[in-house]
Amino acid sequence: MKTRVRAVDVDHPEPEIIEEAAAILSQGGLVAFATETVYGLGADATNAEAVGRIFEAKGRPSFNPLIVHVEGVPHARTFTTAWTESAQRLADRFWPGPLTLIVPKTPAIPAIVTAGGPSVGLRVPAPKVARALIARVGAPLAAPSANRSNRISPTCAEHVLADLDGRIDLILDSGPTTVGLESTVLDLTSAPARILRPGPIGWHDLAPFFKEGDLAGPTSPEAPPPDRPSSPGMLAVHYAPRTRALRVESVRDVFDVAWPERAGVLAFERLDRDRLPEHVVVIEHPDPIGAAQNLYASLHALDAQGLDLIVVAMPPAGGAWDAVRDRLRRATTPLEA
């Protein structure tokens, strides 16, 4: 298979390019496209055989469920047996946007999408390209991140091509994504509702839309992963570079590392570079929003340099940093003292 790349205008998607991509999806093929979070690998979510190709292309385990992207609330309601007042309030506020709602599914969503579970994650992506594609296909799109399983998520078309060239039919290149981290996943089938995957929309953003006690408190990103995930992004190892990647809890610990000749460091506050060997590649993101937007791009950049070691100095716990910490904890292993 030869993977083609088509540039598409982010503000005014060319109808002929959308038509080309929609035809591939309608015939059971795979198309990568940008959401506001990361690039997704799309297939017709109602076509079990097409969805199976996602798992094959990514090397993704079948027990890891997929998120389904829909055109809007009316579209979402056709794929759930219980659209609650809470779901409507949240959709009114956060859709289109990086919030996935876990709701009971209808038989229209095949079991392969949900890993055999009774519920499905639905969301409405923000970019015009993504929504135009869903509308033209006339079906929801199952779309996990467009990369090999457990590897760094892609935030530009080049990342997708490097990982999946020859494995998928088409990549729609609409430039870099704007948010940079996967959506928040909120389970509305549990009582109380619960965040399964932290993301751009935090607990404090969601809490005003619930009565007291109806939303579980923030889950520690250090909590152990479940044996069988009920949401994407819950596996112990995920988002990982090919380069050996270790984490330390403080930038102070960076200066005690025994650095090999080819090494890099990713930090979330300013480092005293005079205390590091000159050959160490340094990337810094002291702002949480900028860190989220550039996290995967930074990991890709370090991974592409042929290093022997990447050291990540973890950002502080709590608040806007929770989603970044969650991804880094799964992408790295702790540096042993």
Binding residue ranges: 37, 60, 64, 69, 123, 143, 145, 153, 183, 197, 239
Pairing of strands 99-104, 119-123: antiparallel
CA contacts within 13 A on the Cβ side of 102? 26
Binding-site entries for ATP: 60, 64, 145, 153, 197, 239
Selection from 207, 238, 236 nearest residue 223 by Cα: 236
CA contacts within 13 A on the Cβ side of 60? 31
Binding-site entries for L-threonine: 37, 69, 123, 143, 183
Q: Tell me how many helices (H) and strands (E) the chain has.
A: 10, 15
**Residues in Cβ contact with 313 at an 8 Å cutoff, skipping those fewer than 6 apart:** 247, 248, 249, 250, 251, 253, 254, 265, 266, 267, 268, 269, 271
Helices (H), ranges, the chain: 15-26, 48-58, 73-77, 85-94, 128-137, 157-164, 203-206, 251-254, 288-303, 322-331
DSSP codes joined into one string, 172-239: EE--S-SS-SPPEEEESSSSSBEEEE--SS-HHHHGGGS-TTSBPPPPPTTSPPPSS-SSTT-SSS-S
Selection from 281, 195, 288, 289 nearest residue 234 by Cα: 195
Angle between helices 322-331 and 288-303 (to 10 degrees): 20
- Give the chain's largest Cα–Cα span: 61
Tokens of 198: 């932290």
Q: Which value, to the nearest 10 degrees, does the dihedral of the CA atoms of residues 324, 115, 42, 68 take?
A: -70
